[in-house]
Amino acid sequence: MAQKVAITGNEAVALAMKQINPDVVAAYPITPQTEIVQIFSTYVSNGLVDTEFVTVESEHSAMSASVGAAAAGARAMTATSANGLALMWEVVYIAASNRLPIVMPVVNRALSGPINIHCDHSDAMGARDSGWIQLWSENTQEAYDNMIQAVRIAEHPQVQLPVMVCLDGFIISHAMENAEVLPDEVVREFIGEYVPQKTLLDKEHPVTAGPLAFTDSYFEFKRAQAEAMLQAKPHILEVAREFAKISGRQYGLFEAYKLEDAEIGIVVLGSTAGTAKNVVDKLRAQGVKAGLLKLRVFRPFPAEELAAALGHLKALAVMDRADSFNAFSGPLYAETAAAMYDSGAQTKMVNYIYGLGGRDVGLDDIEKVYGHLARIAESGKVDQRLNYLGVRE
């Protein structure tokens, strides 16, 4: 029987890792992720998992050890945040290009500088082109559920890509919420025994991992890597359907909230979706046709599905908790706008950069965005594409 517990995001992720019982976890502490591996290390010390726990000297080594373990055929995991992810950088790309199914919770935190430990999405957004699948979580429950699904997605024979499970630093990682956790044996049965597609430890079938590929072959390997991402969507949905059978919770590429008959809407990632749903409810009670789309799968980017779900809107705001500093827009806006343009949608679009460095986003802030959208829907004109929400002028 599933059990309802009061649990923080970090505790839930650590619990998921305990239930997954990975062969190797290599990690280095960084706020706000530290608790995950700290809690997990107690599971190791108390003999509750069989994991080889490697306390490395940096995140670069954490990802390197994870790559080595995964190449050896182990179910490998690490966890990080912000500057830790930045320090992993080159190996993050190597994990994906070597097609190693590593699972890594990323507890989203602002990248320096100025130095800041609080939530925004600049860390994971920076890694958006690294070739990792990215699952985003609205709350503790989703972080837990995404962790368990991530293992199956990463290890799917047709996918074989590493997966980041993103959860908002402090807002999710340190806040206690009600969540339903599955029994250990249900999780273990769901993820199954890991049968690696390849291993460095099979001396009967020696292989070389991570070789050189120059002008005559690099491009072909990258094209094949791109194909894995292009083909990943149905497998992510297949795992979600199976997960629904054990949990009763249905996941998709995104969640559409009161969107079907909406005239104005926002696209948002992570915990802000929870706040925004309250605003949608309030506006609906006032007769405003407001809706919301919470993206769960950012990589692969579900361009066609997004455009199909949003194309009927008169006005749409894309919320970015990270700036691209490209003098144009945040990353989620740019990709959503591209998807909408390709679909031929006539929706007027604006971008809101918000919540950088943990700046709180309240109901009033979100309401302002919908107010802006209502004006755009009425006039049919976009006055200002790029907007910063909640910054002092």
Partner 1 sequence: MTAKGWRDTVPGGWIKEAGNALEYKTGNWRSIGPVFIPENCINCLFCWAFCPDDAIMVKDGKMVGVNYDYCKGCGICARECPAKNKALVMGEEG
Q: Give the residues lining the site for partner 1 (CB under 8 A).
A: 97-100, 160, 197-198, 205-211, 213, 216-217, 219-221, 223-225, 227-228
- What does residue 281 show for φ and ψ, rounded to 5 degrees? -60, -45
Nearer to partner 1, 207 or 391 (CB): 207
In whole angstroms, how close is the CB of 253 to partner 1 at the nearest point?
Answer: 23
**What is the C-alpha separation between 119 and 121, in angstroms, rounded?**
7
Q: Residue 161, by phi and psi: left (phi above 0), alpha (psi -120 to 50) or beta?
A: beta
Name the residue with tokens 């923080």. 8
Nearer to partner 1, 142 or 155 (CB): 155
Nearer to partner 1, 214 or 325 (CB): 214
Nearer to partner 1, 225 or 343 (CB): 225
Residues paired with residue 135 on neighbouring β-strands, in sequence order:
165, 297
Strands (E), 252-382: 254-257, 264-269, 290-295, 297-299, 315-320, 348-354
Helix (H) or strand (E) holding 25: strand 24-27
Nearer to partner 1, 220 or 342 (CB): 220
In whole angstroms, how close is the CB of 206 to partner 1 at the nearest point?
Answer: 4
292 contacts 257 by C-beta, under 8 angstroms:
yes
Residue of 139, 83, 141, 143 lying closest to 115 (CA atoms):
83
140 contacts 12 by C-beta, under 8 angstroms:
yes
In whole angstroms, how close is the CB of 211 to partner 1 at the nearest point?
Answer: 5
In whole angstroms, how close is the CB of 98 to partner 1 at the nearest point?
Answer: 4
In whole angstroms, how close is the CB of 65 to partner 1 at the nearest point?
Answer: 18
CB atoms within 10 A of CB 316: 27
2, two tokens: 């599933």
Nearer to partner 1, 212 or 285 (CB): 212
In whole angstroms, how close is the CB of 220 to partner 1 at the nearest point?
Answer: 4
291, two tokens: 């809706």
367 contacts 334 by C-beta, under 8 angstroms:
no
Question: Starting at the edge strand that comes first in sequence, how are the strands of the sheet with 133-136 ordered?
Answer: 52-55, 24-27, 76-77, 103-108, 163-168, 133-136, 297-299
Nearer to partner 1, 219 or 328 (CB): 219
Nearer to partner 1, 176 or 207 (CB): 207
319 contacts 352 by C-beta, under 8 angstroms:
yes
